[in-house]
Structure formats: structure tokens, C-alpha cells
Structure 1
Amino acid sequence: MDSLMLEAVVAEVEDRLSGARFEKIYQPESDTLIAKLWTGRETLRLLVSASPRFPRLHLTEQKFANPSAPPRFCQLLRARLKRLVSVRRIPGERIVEFQCSGPEKEFYRLIVELMGRHANLLLVDAQGIIVDLWQRREASVGGRTLLPGQPYQLPPPRPLQPLESWDGKLPQDAARTEAVAHHLSRTLTPISRLSARDLAEGGREGHNLQELVRDLAEALRGKAFEPVVGVLDGERVVSPFVPRFLALESRQRFDSPSQAAEAYYRQLVEEEGDLGEQQFLRRLVARHQKRVKGRLAKIREQEKELDKADQYRLKGELLLANMHLVRRGMEQVEVENYYDDPPSRVVIELDPGRAPHENADDYFRRYKKMCRGREHVERRLHETQQEMDWIDGVAFSLSQTRESEDLVDIRSELEDAGLVPSAGRMEKSFAKNRRPRPQSALTPGGFRVYWGKNSRTNDYVSRELASGGDFWFHACQVPGSHVLLKVTRKGEEVSEDDLLYAAAVAAAHSRAAQSGKVEVMVARAEDVRKPKGARPGLVTVAAYRTVMVEPLVPNSES
């Protein structure tokens, strides 16, 4: 979040939240905090994110899941913060200080550092000592130690000039517009790359650059915000002011800096796939997919080796039938294979140090060992294939996830599988206790169709929501949602059009959704079973037929 946008958001938050009472603080994601504050007229929600890719701060209208048990730092803030006194941005830094009072009128500073991968959130007492913080670090950023019990120190100051006091001087090598924009963005505060480019473009068109900078400072001081989100040179941008000299494509105007920031970051999160820990979980799942795929390949190689078992038995039998041709010390013998029609000649390798019957016994031993190993290999192959199907389903769910509470479900599932360390009671309690919420729509004939968004809701759809007479759908051989068409009255007739509609929904919510036609399984719900001990979202289908349909995303989803 650039310093200009941050300055505008802080000005808005200061105006609207100063003096407000903390009603609730909760942590819907591992790197996101939501504070609900009562101003005396309305309840507003403040979002603080320490996401390494999209650290940000703004008021939000987006609704987040409220976990049933807060993590340690969130519990601390709930206990210590009662009222927000004032808000200010540290000059020259992407650091915001919330001055707060506690239950006994004690003074605290909640400090938000929005510095990329070093983003952090700290609670500091009246003596400047860190009470606790989000990310503990020892002498990492700028040599600072950020630990509880240590004095809080700001990063080393940077040589930046405030907008209103800029002297208008440019270095000699800043002749081109790009060089002017680079110089402004590196030396002035608060400013953004977009505003620096806009100022430089105005200077190129003959306007007095120093006056343009002072105009920007005056607009910021007077809070004359015109928040806008648009596209410049193919890149999405957000600004508290409409550029005067640069033309934005797809321009959207907003009533407040927070509204613009929320629209901008929500779109980025969806496009970049960085909903909380989504990017981290995607990389983790991709690594596990690679490991399971490699293990599957090795087991299949072992399976191919097992096909040689019958060859060992055959060679043992042929040796017994041709003992008169074998002598100790021979390395091989050629015999007639009378099992072939017509008979063929076979060369059998021998151990010259063994007697003829010992060589035959050795082939029989190897045959029996492979027969015993076949059951083990087949079991491992089945289990590993199930694991591959499961992790492919998790990867697909992650690619479709747009809500934070669904991400909590997926993380909880990966925790149960031992792939990620436990994030604590908050996520586990929330994921286990929250009732799954499958999406739904109506078929043309008025039947309700449900489908899951991840393994947990798929399990709910197939195991708890389904009952006798319902129809179950899933795209063939690819990860996707479990889809259920509910039959409200036993024996009620369901038209083929309704079945094809539900099948098209299953096609649309599968990895094959971009295909023109998708093969979809159609089964009775009673023919769908979850094997004992199977991973979430995995079922077996006793009987089904398939249909070819075009993917269909319903107009109304709930």
C-alpha cells in the first residue's frame, strides 16, 4: 500500500473512528485482523492485513467468518483495547499508529507496519515497551529487535521531503519523463508511483512541476479525495485522486479511499490467488502432488516387475523337467518350452555355484516372494491412487476458493492429513463446528441442486444431505464438486432436462469446466458410498450412467 493511498485512508479512519469503542476484534485469517468499532452512530469494520504480498489497512464492508476461538495475539488485543483515541501515520513511513485506551484508561499504541514481507502488528504500552506482536523478529529489519519486553524502535529515518516543502529541484540526469517520475517517487512523501508519473507527465506538458506538487499537497491536506481504481499500461492501479494528465482505462470512482482500496485489493486477491494463506497452501499442495505422483510411478514400476512372477515359476518347472541337461558349474541352459504352441526354445540363467535342483528351488522362491508382494503392492497402489485423487481435489478446491472461511476448511483438512502444522484452536474449532454451506440453485423443473466447494462440503452433500431417491453427479475422472439433485417427495418423477441441468452444473464446477463437452456421472444417491477410512471427498459409486453436457454456471447461486 503506497504512502499516498495510506495517507488518504488514515485521514478517513481518523475522521470516522476517533473516539470509537472497540466492540469486537477477531482474526478470520492467519494474517488478517478485523476490528469492529462503535462510533455512537454506527458500527464500522477496520481491516488490517499483514499479508506479505498485499499488506493493507482500510475500512471494509466485506463480511468475514468470525472464528469461535481467537489466537493468542487477538485475545490480547481484546483484553487490552477498549477505545480508539486517535490515528496517525508516521511521516515518511508506511507505518500507522493507533492510540488507544484500555479498560482502566491505560494508554496503548497499536502499531501497524505495512512494509511488504516485513509487515507486522505490535501492541506497545505507555512506556514504549512492546507488550506483544504478530511476528517476532531478532535484529532483522534495519537491525531492529522486535520482541515482547523490548523497547519499540522505528526503522531508521529515510531522507524524504514532504510534498508541501519540495524545493522543485531535479537532478541533471532527470531529463526524461520517466526519470522525473522516478526521482519524485524516491524523494517525496506521501506519494505513489501513479501520482509521480502523473506529475511528471504534467511537467512534460509544460506545467510548473513545483506548483503541481503543491496542488497535490493542498488536495491531500484539504481531504479533497476523488478515489479511483483503473488500469494504466495493463496494470490495475488505485489512487485517492483522479490523475490529471494520465488517462486510466476501466476507471471506477468511489465515495471514499477505503471503498477504493477494498475494491482494488479484493480484485487483486481473486486474480493473484492470495486469499490469506492461499498462495502458501497452493505451493504446499503442488509439492505434495509431485511427491505422490513420483511414489505412484515407482509403485507402478514395481507392479510391472510383479508380472515377471509367472516367468520365474515357468523357469523353475522347465528346470525340473530338464534336470538331465543341467550340471553344476553351468551359467545357463537352453531348454524346450513345451507350454508354447508350437514349442519354443528358452534360455534359463543359472547360478554355477548351485546344484541343478537348487537353481530350480531359487526360481520357485522368487515366484512365491513376488506373489506375496503382489498383495502389498496392490494395496499401496490403491492407497496412493486414493491419495492422488484426494490431493488433486484439494488443489482444485484451492483454485476455486474465494471466501476466507473456505480456506480455513482446506487448511484444517491439510492439518488433519499432517501436511501443515496446526494453526491452533481457532481454525480447528471454527472448521469443525461450522455447518457446511453448499451452494445451490433451482433446475428448470423446480428441483433444488446442491454442490460442494471443497472436500468438507462435498462430504456433507454426499453423506448427510443426500437421501433415498436423490440423484448424484460428478465429472468423470477429474476433480470437481459433488452435485446433488434433491427429490422432495419419494417416487417423484424427475425429467431428463432436470438431470442434464444438474449434470451441467457438475461439469461447470470441475477441472474440465473449460472443455466444450464434459462427461458426467449420474447415479442414485443410495449407490454412492464413502469407504471406511477414506479421505474427505472420496466416495465409491456402485452403479451409474454417463452423459455428455456443456458446462453451465447457474444464474442464481446461494
Structure 2
Amino acid sequence: MPLDSLFLTGLSRELDEKITGTRIDKIQQPGRDLIILSLRSMTMNGRLLICGGSNGFRIHLTKSGYENPQTPPMFCMLLRKYLTNARIEGVSQLGTDRILEISLNTFDAMGMECKRRLILEFMGRYTNVILAGEDGLIIDCMHRTGGLEMPRSVLPGLYYKLPEAQNKINLYELTESEITELVAEASTLKSCDKWLLDTFMGLSPLICREVSFKAYGDTGIMMDELPDNGRRLVRQLMELKALVNEGRFTPVLLTDSDGKPRDFSFMEIGQYEGALKAEIKESFSELLEAFYTKRDIADRMRQHSQNLVKAVKTARDRTARRLSNQLKELEATENRELYRRNGDIIMANLHMIKRGDTVLEAYDFYSEDGSMCKIHLDPTKNPHQNASKYYKDYSKAKNARVILTQQTASGKEELFYLDSVLEELQRIECERDLEEIRQELMQSGYLRANKQDKKKRNTKQQRPMEFTSSTGMTILAGRNNIENDELTKSAFKRDIWLHTLKVHGSHVIIRVPESEADETTLSEAASIAAYYSQARNSSKVPVDYTQVRYVKKPAGSKPGMVIYTNQKTVLADPNEELVNRLRKKQ
């Protein structure tokens, strides 16, 4: 993503204007790479988000809420020790690289006023957050790096050094004639955007393509094909230089036809020619919040749920293998009547069998035409023993079929349940969602509880998701199987229950006070049921609905399992915008 040096120039100026003079009130670290600084002043209260991970590195003001771990990480504790109540004196970019410095004024352990530096290096996999003294002595950092294979060491006790400068030219130190000379001497074997990327520091591939597009209407034109000896390219570079120097930044979010963020920039982008829609944001913080927040939460939940996903998949694979073997054994019992038939025919023809015979050929009185049949005999057994053997095989197969029928039904139910848990893990939104699923798996016997888990058992369960329809009716939806059971159990018999047809998903309830649910509410509830299901990315999803009085939970069934009757079916489209609009904040 194009969080390049030029974007950072605009962002640093914006943050310098907004947060200079504020004090750091609280410091939190909700994730391994995520830090939240709560800021306050006479004119401003806000939260500054700093992401020091290789994926999604950034800094901006945020309005989003984040859940914190029960025990704060060591780096968070260190920041609290050195930066709580520190005053921000400024935000600046170091050189033309992707490095920001937050200058801080605070007090040391002796109560003496001192300076601190919070240095943010946004450099891909080398991204880091470094706390240093005024003299550059590193106090600590988010990611400690060092060793012969590393380009430099960033460790407590060392002095901070800037990364080695790239072997590129600073566009903002050049005159128009110098840029013209560079273009004239450019390699003819490169495309225009590639030459810009290799020549000038601080330009992202997106901006290089945009400069080429604005100059010649082509993002990939070769340098030896420039029709005007590069004059339009020089003009565009001078305009870019003026835009940055004069601070004429335009935070732009680029979204696809579904409204999903795909890219962003500090200037208007024309190279996509309608393929992506441009949304101009009021600030860089609002832009980065819109682009990253939802994806950031999904990534963090995906990381935190890995162990649970692995445990559920292991249990599912084990159940699937066991079920496959049981189905094969069940199929083998279909020949049980043949065993009884053989026993009966042997008993009817005892006089024809001599000890040592291996085959009996006799009339099959079970067949319609009375045809001859062959029955294999054990030569070591007498006729009565051979008949008894077939009767025992029949009895064994008959009893096995009863047991295997029950076992395969239970196995299919268990497989369905585990698939539903995997689906729930795909749409968790917060740590509490994850914890509820963990508790559910422990109650179901798929996870062992440790001491920490036993302490969490008394934690209060979340309320189900709540929505208000366009006509004012209340709609509730469960996040997981335990919530689904509680929601359906606590609903009134006249309430409407909804669930996607033959697809894993949330139980949805329409609260019906006296009158029936109107068509608008029913349609919106069906859309909610489709959205919180395995069919979220589909369209025209079949959703069953019926009154709660017709929904029953079989005794001993898995969490979330119900049977229902008297249902009707509607087709609904999962609609994220509708869901977000109707959902109440909790």
C-alpha cells in the first residue's frame, strides 16, 4: 500500500498541527504490533493509533475501540513508565524516508524535566517503534533487531542511527533544468513508471504510475517512446514537487464497485479510469481509519483464533475419518438377510450335507422362481454348526446395524456442529467472541481447561447482537452456538425465528410484541441472517422463518442444534451496509 514518503509528509504535518501540545493520558497495547496513546488537552481529546507491524504499518488518530489483554505486554509497561503524562512537542518527518519522530517533554525518575523521542520507522518488514532519549540512546523498541545478517542493530543501550540512505535522488532538491537533464539521460530500456521508481526517493509505484499517466495517458509507456522528449514528464514532476512543498494534499480513498477499500493516496488518482471510485476524505487520519480498521480487526482476530481453528479442524478430521469407517461398516450390514437365508437353507437340507463338504447346492425357497443356489460351508464344522455360524453372522450384523445407525447419525451431527464452529470463527469481531467460543469448546469436551480458563468461566456472557428495523422492531442475532441456544430459549413463542436453509449461521429472532412482524422487518431480519452465515458472500440466500413455538432443541443435541416445523422460506441478499445501519452499538 502506498504509505510512501510523500504520503507521510502530509500525514506528519496534519498530526503535528492536531496533537502538538497534548499530553499522553493513557497507553495501551491491544495487539502485538498495536499501540494506542490516549491524548488530552484543553481543546482536544483523542486517541493516537500506532501500528508497528510489517502488514498495515501506520499512525493516525482513531475513533475505533480496541480490547486490551488482561496482562499488558512488557513494551506497553515500559512506555507507560517513560511516557505517561508526557507532553507532545511536535511531529516531524526525518529526511525524505518513511520515518516519523514524536518529540516529547516529560520528567525522569528524579522529577527532572527531560526530553524523549518516539521514533516510528515504517519500512516494511523492518517497521519498528523506538523509544530513545534526547541524545538518541535507545531505551527500548517494539522489535529488537541485531546480528550480522541485519543491516543495522536496534537494541536498548545503543545509539539510534538512521537507516542507510537509498541510492536515489531527492526530487525536492532539484531545479527544473536538473530534472530535464535527468529525463534526457534516462535509460531507454525502462518504462516511465519504473524509471521514476528507480530514480527518485520517496515515490511509491502508485505515484510513479500516476505521474506517467498524467503526462502521457499511459502508466507503462517506455522512456524511449516519450513523444515530446519528456517535457510533459518534467512538467508533471514539477507539479508534484509544488503540490508537496505547498501542502496541497488531498486524502483520497479508492474503493471498488462493492465499496471495499482497495488503495489510497495523498493526491487525486486518475489512472484507474472509473475502475475504482475515488472518495475524498477530510483528513489523513479519517482516510487511514477507513482503509485499515476493519481489515486490521479481521487480521488480529484471525491470528488470535489460529489455535482454536487448529483444534476444531483436528477434531473435525478425526470425526470425519471415524464416520467414513462407520458408514463402510454400515454398508456391509446390508447383506444381513443373506446370512439368515443361508442358515435356513442349510437347516432345511441337513440330510444332503456330509462332514467335509465345502459347498451346498440346493433350491432357494426364498427366491420367486425356486432357483438353485450355492452356499459355502466350513469343512471343519458339521451341518448344524455351519447353520449356527450363519445365524450368528446375521444376529451380529443386525445388532451392528442398529448401533452403527445411531453412531453415524451422531457423527453427522458432530461434523455439522464442528463445521458451524469453524464458520463462527471466521466472523468473530472481538476478543469476547473468541472467548465465548473457547468456553463452548471446553464445555463440549474439545478443549481442556487450564487454570486461567477456569477463572474466566465466571465472566459475564455478552448480550446477543441487537438491531432495530426500519419500522422500529427489535431484531436479535447470536454470535455463536451458545448464544444461539440462549437466544432461542429466551424468546417468546410468538416471536419469529430465522435461519439460513441448510447453511451454518446465526439464529435470528424478531421480537413480536403483539402484532405480526411487518414485511420490511422480515426482509431486513432475513438479510441479517444471510449476512451472519456461511453464505455471506452469496446472493439470493434461502432463509427459513417460523414462530419460536415451532422450534425445538432435541435432548442431548450439540449446542446450536434445533429442529423446526411450519416454516416458510424467503430469499435474502447479505447486505453489510444495511447490517451496519440497523445494528445498535453495545
Scaled by the length of structure 1, what TM-score is found?
0.76
- Asked if 1:450 is matched to 2:512, the reply is no
Contact 1:519 1:546 in 2 (8 A): no
Q: Helix, strand or coil for the counterpart of 1:216?
A: helix
Alpha-carbon separation, structure 2, partners of 1:327 and 1:85? 109
User: 2:24·2:40 contact (CA, 8 Å) conserved in 1?
Assistant: yes
What is the match of residue 505 of structure 2? 480
Q: 1:155, 1:333 → 2: CA distance?
A: 92
Alignment correspondent of 2:264: 238
Instruction: Using the TM superposition, name which of 218-227 and 188-197 deviates more.
Output: 218-227
Partner of 1:64: 65
Matches within 5 A, 1:78-477: 78-82=80-84, 83=86, 84-89=88-93, 91=95, 93-100=97-104, 101=106, 104=109, 110-116=118-124, 119-121=127-129, 128-129=137-138, 131=140, 133=142, 142=150, 157-165=165-173, 168=179, 169=182, 174-175=187-188, 179-202=191-214, 204=216, 206-207=230-231, 209=233, 212-213=236-237, 215-230=239-254, 236-243=262-269, 250-266=277-293, 269=295, 274-278=298-302, 284=309, 291=317, 296-316=323-343, 318-326=345-353, 332-341=359-368, 343=370, 345-350=372-377, 359-360=386-387, 362-363=389-390, 366-367=393-394, 370=397, 373-374=400-401, 377-378=404-405, 380-397=407-424, 403-404=429-430, 408=434, 412=438, 416=442, 432-433=459-460, 435-442=462-469, 447-455=473-481, 457-464=483-490, 466-477=491-502
Q: Match for residue 494 of structure 1?
A: 516
CA contact (8 A) 2:346 2:387 kept: yes
Helix, strand or coil: the match of 1:381? helix
The letter of the residue matching 2:568 is: V
- Relative to the length of structure 2, the TM-score reads 0.73
1:494–1:29 Cα change, 3 Å: farther
Contact 1:312 1:367 in 2 (8 A): yes
Shift of 1:520: 0.9
Aligned to 2:567: 546
Please say if residues 136 and 160 of structure 2, whose CA atoms lie closer than 8 Å, have aligned partners that are also in contact. Answer: no
Tell me the CA shift for residue 547 of structure 1. Answer: 0.7
1:49 alignment partner in structure 2:
51
Q: Is the 8 A contact 2:469 2:524 kept in 1?
A: no
1:153-196 deviations in Å (ceiling 9; x for gaps): 766553233332355325967448x7221122234232222221
> CA contact under 8 A between 1:32 and 1:276: conserved in structure 2?
no
User: Residues 44 and 349 from structure 1, CA distance in 2 versus in 1: closer, same or farther, beyond 3 angstroms?
Assistant: farther
Distance (Å, rounded) in 2 between the aligned partners of 1:461 and 1:155: 56
* Alpha-carbon separation, structure 2, partners of 1:33 and 1:109: 16
- When structure 1 is superposed on structure 2, of 50-59 and 146-155 the one drifting more is 146-155
Shift of 1:67: 3.6
Query: CA–CA distance in 1 between the matches of 2:141 and 2:448?
Result: 22
Contact 1:478/1:512 (8 A) holds in 2: yes
- Corresponding residue SS for 2:567: strand
CA distance in 1, matches of 2:325, 2:300: 35
Q: Which runs of 5+ in 1 are unaligned?
A: none
Q: Secondary structure at the match of 1:545?
A: coil
Partners of 2:161 and 2:437 in 1: CA distance: 35
**Which structure is larger by alpha-carbon Rg, 1 or 2?**
2
In 2, distance between residues paired with 1:29 and 1:370? Answer: 57
**Aligned with 1:66: secondary structure?**
coil
Q: How far did 1:482 drift?
A: 0.9
Q: Secondary structure at the match of 1:200?
A: helix
Any conservation in 1 of the 2:546–2:567 contact (CA below 8 Å)?
Answer: yes
For residues 344-385 of structure 1, the C-alpha deviation after alignment (integer angstroms, 9 at most, x for no partner) is 554444555666555555555555555565566445434433
Contact 2:492 2:548 in 1 (8 A): no
Deviation, 1:48, is 2.8
Q: Which position in structure 1 is the counterpart of 2:38?
A: 36
The count of aligned residue pairs is 542
**Mapped partners of 1:476, 1:405: distance in 2:** 29
Q: Percent identity?
A: 23
Highest RCO, 1 vs 2 (Cα 8 Å, sep ≥ 6):
1
Give SS of 1:550's match. strand
Aligned alpha-carbon RMSD (Å): 4.9
- Is contact 2:36-2:50 (8 Å) kept? yes
Cα separation, 2, equivalents of 1:368 and 1:150: 81
The gaps in structure 2 that reach 5 residues or longer are 217-227
**Which residue is 2:221 aligned to?**
none
